[in-house]
Amino acid sequence: MIPTFRFAILALLPVSTVAQVPTRGRAADSAAIRAAIERGARGFERAQPDSILAHYARDIILSYPGIPDQDYATLVRGYGQLRSRPATERATTTPTFDEILVAGDLAVVRLRWTTTIRSAATATTAAAESTRYLRDLQVWRREADGEWRFIRGMHYRDSTAAPSAPTRRPE
């Protein structure tokens, strides 16, 4: 009877210890991932592709509806086009985090993006503004150096977030 009791206590000790330690680690990991995503958003607004790509793993694969999967080289070329953004154009993008789940060396992030592009009027064009709403599911991996890297992602338009067109009252 005593050995069984002792075994039961020993069996419970690692579980309670493991449950307490990762909680602090998960919070720090979530904060690091959130900060990386926010730095990437500021990089997009400033047309700085290197800031966007800084947290992307070299083996990243991104999936968007209607186009082939994008690897790191494709993303470097695509984001590189930001450098030629017209001076009359301004972009803002806001990530809204729905959840960040961390388990060991993997994390899953669910978030929504609101991205607005504003073009100032020129001698030949009128001012314009467009807003895009996206849902995003990201998978992150902790690398050997301890840094978190974005490794897989799926983005898709979020038609539920777009404000509905104003209704006209009959005159």
Confirm if 92 and 116 have CB atoms less than 8 A apart.
Answer: yes
User: Distance between alpha carbon 7 and the CA centroid of its chain, in Å?
Assistant: 45
- Burial of 83 from C-beta contacts in 10 A (0-12 / 13-18 / 19+): exposed
Length of the chain: 171
Distance CA 63, CA 35 (A): 23
Q: What is the pLDDT of residues 2-49, one digit of tens each?
A: 444 343 333 333 433 333 334 458 999 999 999 999 999 999 999 999
Sheet strands side by side (includes 128-142): 56-63, 148-157, 128-142, 106-119, 89-103
Distance CA 52, CA 107 (A): 19
Distance CA 109, CA 111 (A): 6
CA-based diameter of the chain, in Å? 91
Distance CA 54, CA 41 (A): 11
Q: What local confidence, expressed as pLDDT, does residue 121 receive?
A: 82
The matching CATH number, chosen from 3.10.450.50, 2.60.40.10, 3.30.420.40, 3.90.110.10, for 20-157 is 3.10.450.50
Place of tokens 């695509």: 78
Q: What local confidence, expressed as pLDDT, does residue 24 receive?
A: 58
Nearest to 100 by CA among 38, 159, 42: 38
Q: What local confidence, expressed as pLDDT, does residue 3 receive?
A: 47
Segments of the chain scoring below 70 in pLDDT: 1-24, 162-171
Distance CA 131, CA 114 (A): 7
